Structure 1
């Protein structure tokens, strides 16, 4: 009898170990308890104080996991094994995720405050009728310059970057679509071209920029520009806002001939589990007070119209980050070009970077 009891206890102990192991595995794969919402977001892209406020109001805790590119986010969700409740992809990636059947449609009947979103951000090309996405932030690609190192009147257009006066004095953000797009626009082409000859021309033009390029970098670009490491950089509006906050000699310009207009939206991945928490969070972020607080913290432009009205006048009236309709009319939105064309853009950009070395 003792041996039988010992055997039974051993089985119970073994099952308990399996349960613990299974629990640990679920945690490592992004699974959460019913009281926790998992947000898959860009780094430092939400005010931590808002997460505490949300938990206090609703009882739901928010666990944030981060990615550093749309492509990395797409791959992680496509591979499965995660339980992300919300993610924050950009416009072209929303289109790609929808085509890959990775998104759950938004139930607009459960949303409160969607009317706070400026009508301009409704029904855009990448998501007709906002069936799959709720606008989160938007912005532009542009040029930031240091007035101690260069005269601002010399930097108003993309072609100004090719000036010999800027030799070894430009930093570029490490992004294929953005830098290839910059070159395409400077030649009068679409940022969504699938014309191989135009892409080759853009790459060759970028190679001509190389004497002026000091570095092609990622997040470090914010620190370098704030510390006067270069006179000029090509980067996104929100990154520029952070740089300017740390260096009063920096200024941001969106070239009048055109640039990229981008959108980051909240979406529900196919593997989401906690729908009550999801809609509670979406409704919380649609409240103007919360959207305004988040915009001040992050530095990007909010699509929430009443939230913009709550921002300090110096921010809301800043045409560098809330450009006029005339400027916006010249901006282009990235489309999903498919894996083959994206691969060609990446290859051309890599050839350019190797040329730099």
Structure 2
């Protein structure tokens, strides 16, 4: 049968339009590439990367930083799982949660191409190749956090040298502790001579009973600002992060810093790139910028965490170097214990902590 040329024309036009429509849809649905959008989506704790550093990166590169924050590593992981690693470009998170993610069937991190980050050479080797990410396949260190004892030397009339001293009955209703189960239980386990990552049920039960004995001495649990209760005089002794202890000492020079004789904890916070980061090239540029020695020093001077960058040392001020809360000797850091993924024992930790807080 002879075909109507008008119909053929209409069909041809319709087909062309359909093809263009499909192409347009394809273009719209394709994730924006590094070359077409000058953006990097950063996900970490609030104020962890100082505004001055963010502004300098934007000025040097023309890449805008979209800063989103989380409160806990667990919250970060939940959001990364919900987006399947496609919403953020750079995440700064802790070592043990990287170990958790590395064990999952669907890895939410992508390997970092070290050739794209030449400032990786600036990282102090003692902070590399840790058990949570051998060879630093997925992560690069940013800073290190640690907890320590800080106390008012005018109000405590006996020497405090370690965790065991916090159980002294003379400190009844005098302690402030950072509100974190792994940290406080880790302290208790260390006092008993065990690992901070203990999973043995009998040892954990022993730690539980010992922790409950500490409760009469505890007046305040505070995750964010435990130093405030020391400064305002509500408490006289605290166990908290170095940056928080530093704030207390700056407010009152009578406060003394103690590195617990039983051994400290050390937590490395790292840069990772999610598996489906929409702006991978910008993520690499951001990490490389952050590992510059001068920039690294600027960041840790502001957030008062331990600097992990050997190239930053020449920029450090005397004030930073003399601050025992944030410039911890290598001798202490080398014997410090890192938190590990404790697997199913996590539930036991949570139950112990819940009972402790309810007492």
The interval holding the TM-score normalised by the smaller chain is 0.7 to 0.9
In the alignment, which residue of structure 2 is the partner of 1:154? 159
Whether 1:280 and 2:285 are equivalent positions in the alignment is: yes
Whether 1:83 and 2:58 are equivalent positions in the alignment is: no
Aligned length: 325
CA distance 1:50–1:325, shift in 2 (3 Å): closer
Contact 2:246/2:325 (<8 A) preserved: no
Contact 1:140/1:254 (<8 A) preserved: no
Q: What is the alpha-carbon distance in structure 2 between the residues aligned to residue 166 and residue 148 of structure 1?
A: 14
After superposition, residues 26-45 of structure 1 pair within 5 angstroms as 34-45=37-48
Q: The residue matched to 1:165 in structure 2 has which SS?
A: helix
Contact 1:241/1:300 (<8 A) preserved: no
After superposition, residues 189-268 of structure 1 pair within 5 angstroms as 189-268=194-273
**Superposition deviation, residue 224 in structure 1:** 2.0
In the alignment, which residue of structure 2 is the partner of 1:59? 62
Q: What is the alpha-carbon distance in structure 1 between the residues aligned to residue 152 and residue 273 of structure 2?
A: 40
Unmatched tracts of structure 1, length 5 or more: 1-18, 27-32
Contact 2:181/2:349 (<8 A) preserved: yes
Contact 1:291/1:302 (<8 A) preserved: yes
Contact 1:40/1:64 (<8 A) preserved: yes
**Superposition deviation, residue 317 in structure 1:** 4.4
**Superposition deviation, residue 37 in structure 1:** 0.9
Q: What is the alpha-carbon distance in structure 2 between the residues aligned to residue 315 and residue 220 of structure 1?
A: 21
TM-score (norm 1): 0.86
Q: What is the alpha-carbon distance in structure 1 between the residues aligned to residue 302 and residue 336 of structure 2?
A: 25
**Superposition deviation, residue 129 in structure 1:** 1.0
Contact 2:151/2:257 (<8 A) preserved: yes
Q: What is the alpha-carbon distance in structure 2 between the residues aligned to residue 256 and residue 115 of structure 1?
A: 33
Contact 1:242/1:299 (<8 A) preserved: no
Contact 1:47/1:298 (<8 A) preserved: yes
Q: What is the alpha-carbon distance in structure 1 between the residues aligned to residue 199 and residue 330 of structure 2?
A: 28
Residues 248-274 of structure 1: CA deviation (Å, up to 9, x unaligned): 332321112212111101111123110
**Superposition deviation, residue 320 in structure 1:** 4.0
**Superposition deviation, residue 319 in structure 1:** 4.3
TM-score (norm 2): 0.86
**Superposition deviation, residue 220 in structure 1:** 3.0
In the alignment, which residue of structure 1 is the partner of 2:20? none
In the alignment, which residue of structure 2 is the partner of 1:122? 128
Q: The residue matched to 1:55 in structure 2 has which SS?
A: helix
Report the structure number with the largest CA radius of gyration: 2
Unmatched tracts of structure 2, length 5 or more: 1-24
Whether 1:165 and 2:170 are equivalent positions in the alignment is: yes
